[in-house]
Amino acid sequence: MKHLLCAAILACLSSSPAAADAFITNRGVRVLPVNDTVYEVVPRGSGGTWDYWCAAAEYARRELGAGWMDRFYVVRGRDVSVTTGRRSSVQFTLYPKRSGVEPKTGWLSLGFRTGESMSVQQGYGYCVNEPAL
């Protein structure tokens, strides 16, 4: 029975997306895939606006191979994480049409409304605006 319990716990831990697929940015923010086209930024604490945009850009560039001028889009604004259960996360995609997102046009607001976007290069700009603690 003891071995069965240990095996069950180990199986649960190893299948957790946070354990298996977490990408940690240079600033310590976790990014996890939700599905084939959507990824979720999960900062420490509630995270500032720059944490989300910076991490989403870094993941798009380093993990997904996006170019500097490629755009990434908000799929879902701040909400409970579907990958970790933490209270604050934002979901992004490089593929708005495949993710069911209608891209917004016009100036970017610094919130996280579905369809808002910026280039990977713009997102990286947020990586230097605030010092890492």
Phi/psi for 72 (5° steps) reads -125, 150
Q: How many CB atoms lie within 10 A of CB 111?
A: 11
Q: What is the mean pLDDT of residues 11-25?
A: 61
Q: For the segment 60-84, what is each residue's pLDDT rounded down to a tens digit?
A: 999 999 999 999 999 999 999 999 9
At 115, the pLDDT band (50, 70, 90 cuts) reads: very high
Alpha-helical segments (H) within 16-100? 17-20, 49-62
Q: Is 83:26 a contact under the CB 8 Å cutoff?
A: no
CA distance 27 to 94: 21
Q: What's the confidence (pLDDT) of residue 109?
A: 64
Closest of 119, 32, 30 to residue 73, by C-alpha? 119
Is the pTM here over 0.85, yes or no? Answer: no
